[in-house]
Amino acid sequence: MNARLHAVQRVMWTLVVASIAVALLSFPRGNNRAYTAALDELTGFAQSFKQADLEKSLLDYARTQGTVQPVEVQRLITGPQVPKVQLSAAAKPIPPLAEIHLRTLGEVAEHAKPNGTLDIGALTPAPLAAAVAWRLARVTPAPPHYELTAVTLEPAVFTPADIELEAAIGKSRVETAAAEKAAADAEKKLTSAEDTFEARRKRKLPWKILLKFDEVRKTARVTLDERKKALDEIRARYEGEVKRAEATAAKPAAASGPLPTQYALAQVTLNGAPGQVTTLRVPVALNVQPAKLPGLAGSSFAATHEAGLWDAAKDQNAEQAIALTRSKFTWHYRYAELAGMRIGGMTLLQVLPCILPLLLLALLSRIRRVSGTYNPFGTTLDKKLPRVGLGSRPLELAVLVLLPLAAVVLTAFALWAVSQVPVLPLIAAFAAIGLGGYAFVELGSLQELLEAVVRSHSNPPAKPESTALGGP
């Protein structure tokens, strides 16, 4: 009997240790609940986020606000000695330079704000048209007309002086044409003065009259010399500016960094004679301006902010942020390899509470075994039976009912914190209440039985006097 009583006590202490162990293991630590909400948010975002499609959509939306129609360039390509330029039906709109990236959560969140903008570098038609005009005016022999087929922009490195040079060449060309006309007029006047003087001389007019016409002739000659000199200076300056501009446009430095750049290389494609394609390279300054963007819905990452993960996750993509969030969980939401099997903490949290009802069943089994096998008429009994229980009924109630129940409730809460339904812990909770209460009652009955047994064997009834004196 003593062995069976010891077995009851061992099971009870095992229940105490197991309940404490389950409570300690399942005690909610860290911030699993907030991390779970963040993980759900990031996982949902990763599943619905189509980076390439969204980037293209936002970029197209922004570009429409800075697109230039090729007709705006074509109609401004005019001027003296400039061939007529027509617009090809195949000419496409000229989009601005811009780029957008949604590689990190921070970039996504930035474009999720209302009234978001994106910088775009749009073309200004007039300076480009003027630069094309002076280039076409220099083509010899020039076709009767050109057809503008395409204008494309490429990011490139230029300086303000390069752009100013393009405008200066246009002015120099006009000045050169004016100087050529002035020199031609002076030459005509000199020729007229020479002819007039010769005609008067042949007519043998008085020398005073011839002297007057000679003065006119000399003045015309001086004027012609001055205008030729001015023409040579203007022409030399113009040709020098053209050479510098052509050298600058031929091999510009490639731009680095994000778009839009402040400057670009415009490549203008024109068709001249049949089968003849002319491509002009022109440095241009871009008009950098903000374009409005629609906000991205569902990208505020509120749960990630609340979990305190935003500062670390904002510079990562969705997959990296998910891995970061998983690393913050306690073992309740992690997995481990055991004998080639992948076991998760959530699975253990479901199973662990089931140990406690099993121990309560084992305790009831031991109690029944003692009660069922005890023979009150046995002739042998130790003088002192081992103690069963904890010596205090309230303490035994706490150990048999409250402690297992608390451990199971903590397990259920730990599962709830990682968004899992605590199915087995709930079943174990009801079983712990029922079996714990039943074990408490049975333990009390066993203790009463042991007290009765001890009293009955420790205080045997006295013998009758007649028997003690040898009487009948």
Q: Give per-residue pLDDT as tens, 87-131.
A: 999 999 999 999 999 999 999 988 888 888 999 999 999 999 999
Q: Please compute the mean of the pLDDT values over residues 76-84 and round it to a whole number.
A: 90
Give the pLDDT band (50/70/90) at residue 212. Answer: confident
pLDDT at 458: 60
Chain-centroid distance of CA 233 in Å reads: 59
| Cis omega (within 30 of 0) for bond into 141 | yes
Whether 462 shows a pLDDT value over 80: the answer reads: no
81 DSSP 8-state letter = T
pLDDT at 459: 54
Range with lowest mean pLDDT among 84-88, 183-187, 457-461 = 457-461
Instruction: State the average pLDDT for the chain.
Output: 86
72 class by beta-carbon count within 10 Å (0-12 exposed, 13-18 middle, 19+ buried): middle
Give the pLDDT band (50/70/90) at residue 42. Answer: very high
* Helix (H/G/I), strand (E/B), else coil: 289: strand
Beta bridge partners of 153: 266
Residue 98 backbone dihedrals phi, psi, to 5 degrees: -165, 160
Q: Please compute the mean of the pLDDT values over residues 192-202 and round it to a whole number.
A: 83
Sign of CA dihedral 186, 187, 193, 196: negative
Q: Tell me how far apart the alpha carbons of residues 84 and 76 are, in angstroms, rounded to a whole number.
A: 11
Tell me how many degrees the CA angle 147-149-151 measures, rounded to the nearest 5: 125
Instruction: Read off the pTM.
Output: 0.67
pLDDT at 350: 87
Contacts (Cβ under 8 Å, ≥6 apart) of 102:
49, 51, 54, 55, 58, 108, 111
Element (H, E) at 268: strand 263-271
pLDDT at 141: 81
Whether 379 shows a pLDDT value over 60: the answer reads: no
264 or 369, greater pLDDT = 264
pLDDT at 85: 94
Contacts (Cβ under 8 Å, ≥6 apart) of 459:
none
Contacts (Cβ under 8 Å, ≥6 apart) of 93:
67, 68, 69, 70
The DSSP code sequence of 209-249 is HHHHHHHHHHHHHHHHHHHHHHHHHHHHHHHHHHHHHHHHH
395 class by beta-carbon count within 10 Å (0-12 exposed, 13-18 middle, 19+ buried): exposed
pLDDT at 454: 65
Q: Tell me how far apart the alpha carbons of residues 346 and 366 are, in angstroms, rounded to a whole number.
A: 32
Q: Provide the 10 A C-beta neighbour count for residue 12.
A: 24
CA dist 79 to 131, 138, 196, Å?
Answer: 11, 12, 37
Q: Which two tokens stand for residue 366?
A: 């031991």
Range with lowest mean pLDDT among 70-74, 114-118, 164-168, 464-468 = 464-468
Beta bridge partners of 68: 94
pLDDT at 251: 87
Q: What's the first-to-final CA gap in the chain, in angstroms? A: 39
Q: Provide the 10 A C-beta neighbour count for residue 99.
A: 14
Whether 329 shows a pLDDT value over 90: the answer reads: no
195 or 67, greater pLDDT = 67
Give the pLDDT band (50/70/90) at residue 463. Answer: low
**pLDDT tens per residue, range 143-182:** 888 999 999 999 999 999 999 999 899 888 888 889 999 9
Q: Provide the 10 A C-beta neighbour count for residue 272.
A: 17
Give the pLDDT band (50/70/90) at residue 337. Answer: low
CA dist 178 to 81, 142, 187, 440, Å?
Answer: 12, 21, 14, 118
Q: Which two tokens stand for residue 91?
A: 């000419």
Q: Are 15 and 399 in contact (CB under 8 A)?
A: yes
**pLDDT tens per residue, range 275-304:** 789 999 999 999 999 999 988 876 789 999
* Helix (H/G/I), strand (E/B), else coil: 284: strand
pLDDT at 467: 47
Q: Tell me how far apart the alpha carbons of residues 233 and 114 are, in angstroms, rounded to a whole number.
A: 59
Beta bridge partners of 338: 341
* Helix (H/G/I), strand (E/B), else coil: 306: helix
Q: Tell me how far apart the alpha carbons of residues 310 and 105 are, in angstroms, rounded to a whole number.
A: 9
pLDDT at 468: 46
Count the alpha carbons within 13 Å of 203 in the hemisphere toward its beta carbon: 10
pLDDT at 403: 93
The amino acid occupying position 439 is A
Contacts (Cβ under 8 Å, ≥6 apart) of 272:
143, 146, 147, 278
427 or 27, greater pLDDT = 427
Whether 2 shows a pLDDT value over 70: the answer reads: yes
pLDDT at 106: 92
